[in-house]
A and B are shown apart, each in its own frame.
Chain A
């Protein structure tokens, strides 16, 4: 599904990747750890076409990251950025807009209410602007969009950093059980405690896979 072959990339005069090979099969769940600044987020940005590479090949579902494919590629990936960089608008308007251009799998109001409930968010949050939300609320709105869009591939950058312990545990149990291809970047120990992880060590990047 995701394929990096001998990828080289230099950013601001710093060699980030020199010959990185990295693969994720369909429906696989992968956890990436490692110190900050070693290019974890950059992996995601490359896949989304936000960061060009110097050499090597990157393929998504067999497709090169080029103009002709980029729309298809982006429409299959849900990306949760570290700061959840949503536009500052009321949440309801954001959801409407996202729905208009993607159409949620299940646009039912009850489905939305169930998800809000599951994420322990009050319905009133839909009328708040993104700027008014706390970090934890923003993160949960990001996850809400992820669940609503239901795209086949999830790239989650620190998805639990701002959540409380109960919610963290809930997500660690819920997310890897989805029938999706999922790559998670996280420093959070709760993910490591998940016993199904198979370590896949590489210098710098620590990648673990769910069995």
Chain B
């Protein structure tokens, strides 16, 4: 299991930012790698969605369950993680430090095992995936760090 965290400074209303991250429509309009973000259930606190996205040229599908644990925090896990992951969970939250607000994305990921792969090879593959995911998140966070109004 690998954990990673990426943050981006916020200068807009944090409530609006978290609301936008909760919205499937906002994902469709703000992040071009999204091909489909279909919300199957949403009661304001819990949500299940099917997502198809472009992952460095390959289309991957995932099922995600998201829930608002605090006003400025969305946690999630994937009953069906995107290939090649066996596990993905994490959060989107707003944190305050030294009088400044930051949008923070955290992830816990594990790769599906591949037959005949050594532990060292899998660790290297996990490191490469985590690097790409961090890069992705560093591109996504600014897309939600502005007001659409």
- Whether both chains belong to one complex is answered with no
> Residues of A at under 8 Å CB distance from B?
none
